[in-house]
Amino acid sequence: MSTEKLYLESIEAGYFQKFHANVVDITETSVILDRTLFYPLGGGQHWDTGTLSGPNGLVSVTEVRGRTDVEHTVGEGHQLSVGDEVHGSIDWESRYAHMRMHTAQHLVSGLVYELFNGARTVGNQIHADRSRIDFNPISFDEVMLGTMTQAVNDKIDEGLEVTDSIMTRKEINAIMPPERTNMDLLPAFVSDLRVVQIGERVDMCPCAGTHVSNLKEIGHIEIIGKKSKGKGTQRVSYNLNLPGLVREPFREEC
C-alpha cells in the first residue's frame, strides 16, 4: 500500500495545512501513514515539517522521505501504533516558502531557456531561505543576470496563474521540446505525468512539487551568487526579496 499524497491533488491542495490519516507501519523513530500532506524530500525540494497528534499526544515531524511509502520521522518514544488515527499539521511558514521558491525556479528555468539559446536546467535545490539552479551550457555575466532578473520580475508582476494537469509523455512532447522539460531525467516507465504550467506556457514542466497559484505570491527574486560547476555548467543562487501577495492556508482538515 502506498501513501496517498494529498498535496498532489491540485495546486490548491498545497494550501491545506491540516489532515487526518491512519498509521499503517512504524519503526522506533518513524511512522508511515495511509495519506499525508507532508511533502517528502525529492525533486530538489526540501521536506515539510510539522506535527502529528495521536491517541497519546503530540509528536513533531522533523524529516519526511519516500516516494511510495512516505516515512515521517517523529523520534524515539513516539507511542504510535499501527491502526492509530492521527491529525497532522504542516508548518505553514516553511511550506509556503517552498511553494514560492519552487514556482520561482520554474519561472527562472523557463525564461533562461528562452533568453539564452536553450540553456537547460540540470539541477536545483529548493530551501525556505535561499535556492539554487544549475544551468548548462551557459556562462552568465552580470548583464545576462540582470536581463534574466528583470524578465522574471516582470512576469511576476503580470500575476500569471499557475495550473496543473495530468498529461502523457506524448502530449507534453508535442507541445514542448523534451530537452526543455527534462523528459530524459524521468523514469521511462512513467507515462502519465503531473504537469505544472505558468500562464500560457511561459513554463510547462512535469513536477511533483508544491506551488503557488499566482506568480504575484512570489514577490521578486534577487540573484545572490553564481559559480562554475564545470563543463559549461553554472550555478545561480537566489532568494526572494519581497513578501509577495500573501495567501493564508486552508485551515480546515482534509
Residue 120 lies in a domain: yes
Counting the structural domains of the chain, the total is 2
How does strand 4-5 pair with strand 35-36? parallel
Backbone φ and ψ for 178, nearest 5 degrees, come out as: -55, -35
Name the domain boundary from 90, 109, 132. Answer: 90
Q: What is the structure's pLDDT at 219?
A: 96
Query: Are residues 132 and 55 part of one domain?
Result: no
Residue 252 lies in a domain: no
Residue 27 lies in a domain: yes
Whether 221 has a pLDDT exceeding 70, the answer reads yes
Whether 210 has a pLDDT exceeding 80, the answer reads yes
Residue 249 lies in a domain: no
**CA distance from start to end of the chain:** 20
pLDDT digits (tens, 9 = 90+) for 177-190: 888 888 877 777 78
**Closest C-alpha among 193, 197, 194 to residue 161:** 197
pLDDT digits (tens, 9 = 90+) for 84-108: 999 999 999 999 999 999 999 999 9
Whether 240 has a pLDDT exceeding 90, the answer reads yes
Residue 250 lies in a domain: no
**Cis previous bond, 137, omega within 30:** yes
- The number of residues in the chain equals 254
pTM of the model: 0.95
Residue 174: which domain range? 95-240
Q: The domain spanning residue 114 has which CATH number?
A: 3.30.980.10
CA atoms within 13 A on the CB side of 106: 35
CA 130 vs CA 30, 56, 61, 150, 225: distances in Å: 28, 37, 22, 19, 11
Whether 138 has a pLDDT exceeding 90, the answer reads yes
